Amino acid sequence: MKFFVLGLYAFVLCFLTFRKKNKASNVSEFMLGGRRTGAWFSAFAYGTTYFSAVIMVGYAGKFGWNIGITAVAIGIGNAVLGSWLAWKVLARPTREATHRLGVSTMPSYFEARFGSRALRLTTAMIIFVFLVPYSASVYQGISYLFEQVFGVPFILCVIGMAAISALYQIVGGYTTTTMVDFFQGLVMLCGIGLMVFFVLRSAPVGGLANGLGKLAAIDPALAGLPTGNNLVTLCSIVLLTSLGPWGLPQMVHKFYAIRDEASIKRGTLISTLFAAVVGGGAYLCGAFGRVVLNNTMPIDPATGAANVDMVVPNMLDAVLPPWLMALIVVLVLSASMSTLSGLTMSSAGAVTNDCLKVLFPHKLGEKRALMLMRTLCLLFVAVSVGIALSKIKAIVSLMSFSWGTIAGCFLGPFLWGLRDKRTNLAGAWSGIAVGLLTNLGGAAVTGFNGAFAPLLGVISMLLSLIIVPIVSRIAGAKSKQA
């Protein structure tokens, strides 16, 4: 039954890939699908790229275990701040500016907005360098889960995921990717709904009210409002996971391709509801990890040590029937595959559009650029797979810092560049500098200890939001205003 569910999932992805091939004639068509994406596809593309295995398994288990039921507030924050407010603040001006300027990537927007080719090249390289370990960690994480549930060797899991992911991106571009994301979003909604139902009605939990009582019996703080360190932890992770996406190129890219104003209004509501269900449901299940596992942290058989990342997999294995466990793994796979497609498109676009076309404008026509774009998508997948197969332990910590570094570098320049005409080139450079120095400096000081990555990411994002307008005012003269 498990392999039937997995096979059906793979069949649908292949069917969607070849059913409607995107006839892209240039890089912009390949990356944006002609800017004709409607509300449902845009909202699901945003939501499925937002939630990956890192949040649905790692964060849900970790923070559910540490702070209890208030971890649900993270999911609510993701819905309100990371989805609703992001769409309200960014969607309309991002769509308008990128349409008017004819740009299809964040680095190309930076050049058009601030009049600096050096800024475009720098941001493109930051995207490529820091998204590679992020992508590799996603391949690595979901493959370990597949190996545990399906008994398929790790190397086959990684290669199989990479092959399917590369197939529908290279063949269909953005149009097919959004179709696949829509299907994967439906899988995620269905899976989360069933997961919440079975966890709450399981014998250890015995319903929401009874489960809260058992949490309180373990520790009253797990069933009450957060205080002290728990409150600081909660606020930090809400900001990191909700404000961070505002500065991630693979997230804001979804706003470039929205069809019209009406689609933005509907997409805002759809995206918010999607995030509330998926994020809230994942953290709600994670909150009852202690109850289901009898307050005993799972042991990682590979290391023999307790591992909080195994809370959700072990909890679900204890309460879900085998057929549903297979669906949940496909749910996590769907979330991860959508995230991977966004990472691949952003990275390949950064190299093709923002490096090679800039450095060799007369040697790289549209057809050659399109072929190169597809080739670089494949190369990015191959490099990520190679790193994942190496099983380098440091890749997990590096991924943690990568996410915060990209968000810290781009949040201030992108947001203020859209919303404030007085933001200039000096301000943009200051935001990028503070993002790099805070995260890379902090990583060096802490010995690349991933435990410090969320805090450093939050600090860099807040500093970027503060320093960009201040430096812009001090610099005085306006940059090129697009």
- The answer on pLDDT for 310 being more than 60 is yes
Q: What radius of gyration, in Å, describes the C-alpha atoms of the chain?
A: 22
Contact 33, 173 (CB under 8 A): yes
For 367-379, how does the pLDDT look when each residue is reduced to its tens digit (9 = 90+)? 777 777 778 778 7
What distance in Å separates the CA atoms of residue 45 and residue 243, rounded to the nearest whole number?
Answer: 18
- The answer on pLDDT for 141 being more than 80 is no
What distance in Å separates the CA atoms of residue 367 and residue 27, rounded to the nearest whole number?
Answer: 8
Q: What is the dihedral of CA 312, 195, 251, 170, to 10 degrees?
A: 100
Q: Where are the domains of the chain?
A: 2-392, 393-482
Confidence class of residue 322 from pLDDT cuts 50, 70 and 90? Answer: confident
Measured in degrees and rounded to the nearest 5, phi and psi for residue 321 equal: -65, 155
Positive or negative torsion for Cα 386, 391, 392, 395: positive
Cα dist from 109 to 58, 407, 422, whole Å: 33, 16, 16
Q: What is the pLDDT of residue 399?
A: 63
CB atoms within 10 A of CB 419: 12
Contact 140, 391 (CB under 8 A): yes
Mean pLDDT of the chain: 83
For 36-49, how does the pLDDT look when each residue is reduced to its tens digit (9 = 90+)? 788 999 999 999 88
- The answer on pLDDT for 138 being more than 80 is no
- Amino acid letter for position 431: G
Specify the CATH architecture of the domain 2-392: Up-down Bundle (1.20)
For 335-374, how does the pLDDT look when each residue is reduced to its tens digit (9 = 90+)? 777 677 777 777 777 777 767 767 766 666 667 777 777 7
